[in-house]
Structure 1
Amino acid sequence: MTRKHPSLRVKLLRQLRPWHRRIGIFSTLLVIFMAVSGVLINHSNQLSLDTAPVKQSWLLDYYGIKAPKDVHLYQQSPQQLISASNQVWLDDKLILEANAPVLAVIRYNEMIVAVDNSHLYLLSQQGELLETQGSATGLPSHIQALGLQDNLWLKTQSGLFVADSDLIEWSQAQPLAIIPWVKALENSDSSEVTLQIRASRLHWERVLLDMHSGRFFGSLGPWLMDLVALALIIMSLTGCYIWLQQKPVKVKRRKK
């Protein structure tokens, strides 16, 4: 008996089946990931992902978010009052970007007061900027320190100045007692505060969006997503071909 050689159609089916399975497994895993990340992104508001900070140091490093410099904690409770270079933070909320490094921050008369070397900033308890004072408004220049003794005091190169109760006018004066100058809290753990500031600049919604689009993986990320799309197209075409070739042929019944 002569052995029949498999036809071209059978050979093609034998080649397609294993590749169909391999491509299916590869694309299925990525499709599941994209589906899950897509659902999370669609419900990011309900899940608070748009406000949830990323606290993983390696992720912050990956996004190039560096640790702030010159971090100082001025108040621990009821809310943390922090300065970092020219910025002032209320807990994890950035409330001020000063024109120069911040010298001191204090709460005064239901306000938050911050100074750099040439400006004084008045903010509400919630961190809204109310007023900025400078030399044009009569604020002394070359500020070195901020103090509190009944009223606010400024230490400058030209001497000491005291503000009136409304913080409008500043007068040069000599204090009757030693003025307690505002300083950062000693023995405070700046590493936790530093991580808190870094984490506030990146939220999980941004990370999920980057992963979903492929941009998280750099310049090759979008190409990877294109490869997944191509794999799905190939899997659909090969699946249809295999199904059509294995579809049972309907036998017409003969009429009696």
Structure 2
Amino acid sequence: MSNNTVRAIADRQPLSQTGTKKSEANPAVSASSTASPVTADGVASGVGRDQKQAPRSPRPKAGKKNMSMFLRQWHQRGGLFAFLFMGWLGISGFLLNQSASWGLDAIRVGSQTLMAMYGLHPEVPDSGYKQGEHWLATTTENTVVDGHVLNAHIPSPLGFAAVNIDGSQTLFVATKDKVTVLDTDGRVIDELSDYLLPVGAVSALGTTSSGEDGASTIVVKGERSYTSRDGIAWVPLQDDSAVSWSQQTALSEGIKSQVEPFARPTVALEQVLIDLHSGRLFGRVGPWVINTVGVICVWLSISGVWMMWRANKRKTSARRR
């Protein structure tokens, strides 16, 4: 065959064969077209198979990760809830420890709002004692004589009397174990008790007119009756039928209006601190709130220790690698 004929046959060969020949003639192109597929992380699966990859740290399990986050979140929430209560419990506890030295047990609080929380309201007495133009009434915390409140409360008086001693009116208030001597302004002059009284226990107090001048004398009754003009020297009274014994009587509305300002209840500041510290001041709900705060504090302690233990465990594992 001539050379022209051979060239014509070569030009008629299929393109697939031509492409094969070209690829065989150029091995670099063939290698690149048949390269290994790329994986999702962008690294060829066939590249570096002989090289050892660096070990990766194990990922924490989903359950443990969720538990740690759960504890951390609720630890923060519980701490925020208990913050105010724990602060108040600490302050009130400190004040209670210093109550005696700071005199908090002697301070009285009379706030109407606070008294309403305690369920306390003013209670004006309906009855009292009257002797001439003088009168005496007692409330829960105060003793009022002629509109003057006494510095020292006289609870449960047994009698009230007024006699003229040395030209001036002197008032006597009797209880079971003593007799208090007052002036008309409600100031305490003296207190008669023990050996200053002729009887061991006073059961009644009264007045009687005796002597040529008809002056009134004070009479106390115990095992027997004794009389005195000045409350110092006592003599037995043989017949006490003429004695005008002091008895309770109904108070007028005018007297009640004078007693009302002194009938308002008060509570010791120390007791308020105790009730606030325990939550009893807020009724039935208060103690449960304090109990909840106590449970939360226990929870904070346990969860805090657990999270610290987990953190130390992770640090130790990381150092060993």
- Same fold, TM exceeding 0.5? yes
Could you say if the C-alpha distance between residues 92 and 11 of structure 1 is closer, same or farther in structure 2, counting changes exceeding 3 Å? farther
Residue in 2 aligned with 1:47?
102
Residue in 1 aligned with 2:261?
192
Structure number with larger C-alpha Rg: 2
**One of 198, 206, 209 as aligned partner of 2:274:** 209
Residue in 2 aligned with 1:96?
155
Counterpart-to-counterpart distance in 2, 1:108 and 1:84:
25
The count of corresponding residues between Structure 1 and Structure 2 is 210
Q: Deviations over 1:26-80 (max 9, x none)?
A: 11211111110001000112221101001101222332333232489xxxxxxxx
Residue type at the aligned position of 2:138: A
Residue in 1 aligned with 2:292?
227
Check if 1:238 corresponds to 2:238. no
TM-score (norm 1): 0.61
C-alpha contact (below 8 Å) 2:68/2:307 kept by paired residues: yes
Could you say if the C-alpha distance between residues 252 and 103 of structure 1 is closer, same or farther in structure 2, counting changes exceeding 3 Å? closer
Residue in 2 aligned with 1:27?
82
**One of 135, 138, 152 as aligned partner of 1:84:** 138
C-alpha contact (below 8 Å) 1:71/1:85 kept by paired residues: no
Tell me the secondary structure at the aligned position of residue 281 of structure 2.
Answer: helix
Instruction: Give 1:129 deviation, angstroms.
Output: 6.0
| Aligned residue runs from structure 1 range 57-206, under 5 A | 57-70=112-125, 83-84=137-138, 88=143, 91=150, 93-99=152-158, 112-114=171-173, 122-124=179-181, 125=188, 128=191, 130=193, 132=202, 134=204, 139=206, 152=216, 165-166=229-230, 190-195=259-264, 198-199=265-266, 202-206=267-271
Identity within the alignment, %: 21
Counterpart-to-counterpart distance in 1, 2:108 and 2:164:
27
Residue type at the aligned position of 1:84: T
Counterpart-to-counterpart distance in 1, 2:279 and 2:273:
10
Residue type at the aligned position of 1:166: D
Tell me the secondary structure at the aligned position of residue 108 of structure 2.
Answer: coil
Q: Kindly report the root-mean-square deviation, in angstroms, between the aligned alpha carbons of the 2 structures.
A: 4.7
Residue type at the aligned position of 1:237: I
Tell me the secondary structure at the aligned position of residue 93 of structure 1.
Answer: coil
Residue type at the aligned position of 1:215: R
- Which 10-residue stretch deviates more, 104-113 or 88-97? 104-113
C-alpha contact (below 8 Å) 1:95/1:128 kept by paired residues: no
Instruction: Give 1:164 deviation, angstroms.
Output: 5.3
C-alpha contact (below 8 Å) 1:27/1:231 kept by paired residues: yes
C-alpha contact (below 8 Å) 1:23/1:231 kept by paired residues: yes
Higher relative contact order (CA 8 A, sep 6+): 1
Q: Greater share of helix residues, 1 or 2?
A: 2
C-alpha contact (below 8 Å) 2:160/2:172 kept by paired residues: no
C-alpha contact (below 8 Å) 2:138/2:155 kept by paired residues: no
Gaps of 5+ in 1: 73-80, 142-149, 155-162, 174-182
Could you say if the C-alpha distance between residues 11 and 30 of structure 1 is closer, same or farther in structure 2, counting changes exceeding 3 Å? same
Gaps of 5+ in 2: 1-39, 42-58, 128-134, 182-187, 209-213, 219-226, 244-251
Residue in 1 aligned with 2:65?
10
Residue in 1 aligned with 2:24?
none
